[in-house]
Amino acid sequence: MEQLKTKPWSVSGKYVLITGATSGIGLAAAKELAVRGADLGIVARSQVKGNETVEQIQKLTGGQTKVDVFLADLTDQLSIRSAASEILTRCPRIDVLVNNAGAMFVKRILTRDGIEKTWAVNHLAPFLLTTLLLDRLKMSGQARIITTSSHGHKMAKTGIVFDDLTAEKRYSFPQVLLGGANFRYGETKLANILFTTELARLLEGTGVVANCFDPGLVTTNFNQDNGLLARMTMAVMKRFSRPVEKGAETLVWLADSNDISGESGKYYMDMKAAIPSAAALSGEIAQKLWEVSEFQTQHLKLG
């Protein structure tokens, strides 16, 4: 009897859940995935922004795309849990989860959960959302988890500073004058890679793969709420930045390409596997980060 062949992967007809899709590369990716036939779930902080995104996508596809909006404040673990509960109620199937939302804060701010805000949004939010939705992803038989990292992870040359997870040192004088916020951002982007490494290991044999990518320096609204100096810096950087569509290219490829079926635990740039920093290559550190992240998301007093 002829052996049955696995159907080639395509995002067409799949359900893609994506954070950070109301602007920047997330919005560009959402539009392209919709054009390719995917149905979408948009995790947004603002109902207004979410609705505007739906309108843009529906206009692009002639109203042919299903687009759901789920509200979540990614700095707030209770809000993430509430959104995940709604997603599980409304979405019988999730084929692709894209953890794309990200931020950088030049001042040290603690969330209601007592977590430094950059770490909360960039690392713990995708960690918590992913783990809450993992069983639903496994039910698809084949599923993909994609996390947006950054070349900036190389700024965290000393790796994850586990004895300073609230980043008091990063934001203290004189570190703040030496770009402490940038190094903290780099640390969270390093955490994205280590999270992907351990997630891929834990998912072996389940049919779910996990990968991350570097979108490159992209022209977006990133870092626009951190004061005049931050806006001036970003204005200069925009001169050397790629358009959002180019930044979203690898994300879309990771979601749609059949060529990478079965590939997991890798870091990509420009649709090719890349080598991250030495600090991102330790499986032992990846496991330790996972354990710490479980503690930070399961043992905090919420509310």
Q: What is the pLDDT of residue 176?
A: 64
Place 93 in a pLDDT band, splitting at 50, 70 and 90.
Answer: very high
The reply to whether 274 falls in a domain is: yes
**pTM of the model as a whole:** 0.90
The residues carrying an active-site annotation are: 185
User: What does pLDDT average to over the chain?
Assistant: 90
Cα radius of gyration (the chain): 18
Distance of CA 73 to the CA centre of its chain: 14
The reply to whether 174 falls in a domain is: yes
Render pLDDT for 54-88 as a digit per residue (tens, 0 to 9). 999 999 999 999 999 999 999 999 999 999 999 99
Structure tokens given for 155: 């700024």
Q: Which residue has the tokens 């794309």?
A: 100
d(CA 140, CA 96): 9
The reply to whether 259 falls in a domain is: yes
The reply to whether 112 falls in a domain is: yes
Report, as an integer, the average pLDDT of 246-255.
98
Q: What is the CATH number of the domain that holds 279?
A: 3.40.50.720
Let me know how many helices (H) and strands (E) the chain has, helices first. 10, 8
Render pLDDT for 106-115 as a digit per residue (tens, 0 to 9). 999 999 999 9
Q: Where do the H-state alpha helices sit in the chain?
A: 24-35, 47-61, 77-90, 117-119, 125-138, 180-202, 228-238, 244-247, 249-256, 283-298
Nearest CA-CA partner of 66 in 78, 54, 84, 79: 54
d(CA 130, CA 73): 15
Render pLDDT for 187-226 as a digit per residue (tens, 0 to 9). 999 999 999 999 999 999 999 999 999 999 986 554 445 4
The reply to whether 10 falls in a domain is: no
Residue 230 has pLDDT above 80, yes or no: no
3-class DSSP state for residue 117?
Answer: helix
Structure tokens given for 172: 């203290």
Render pLDDT for 98-132 as a digit per residue (tens, 0 to 9). 999 999 999 999 999 999 999 999 999 999 999 99
Render pLDDT for 19-47 as a digit per residue (tens, 0 to 9). 999 999 999 999 999 999 999 999 999 99
d(CA 102, CA 119): 10
The reply to whether 173 falls in a domain is: yes
**Sequence-ordered list of residues with C-beta below 8 angstroms from that of 217, at least 6 positions apart, any chain:** 151, 237, 240, 241, 242
Q: Domain count for the chain, please give it.
A: 1
Terminal-residue alpha carbon distance, the chain: 59
The reply to whether 9 falls in a domain is: no
- Regarding predicted confidence, which is higher, 233 or 147? 147
Nearest CA-CA partner of 12 in 65, 52, 62: 65
Report, as an integer, the average pLDDT of 146-159.
95
Question: Domain limits at 182?
Answer: 15-298
Q: What is the pLDDT of residue 122?
A: 98
The reply to whether 1 falls in a domain is: no
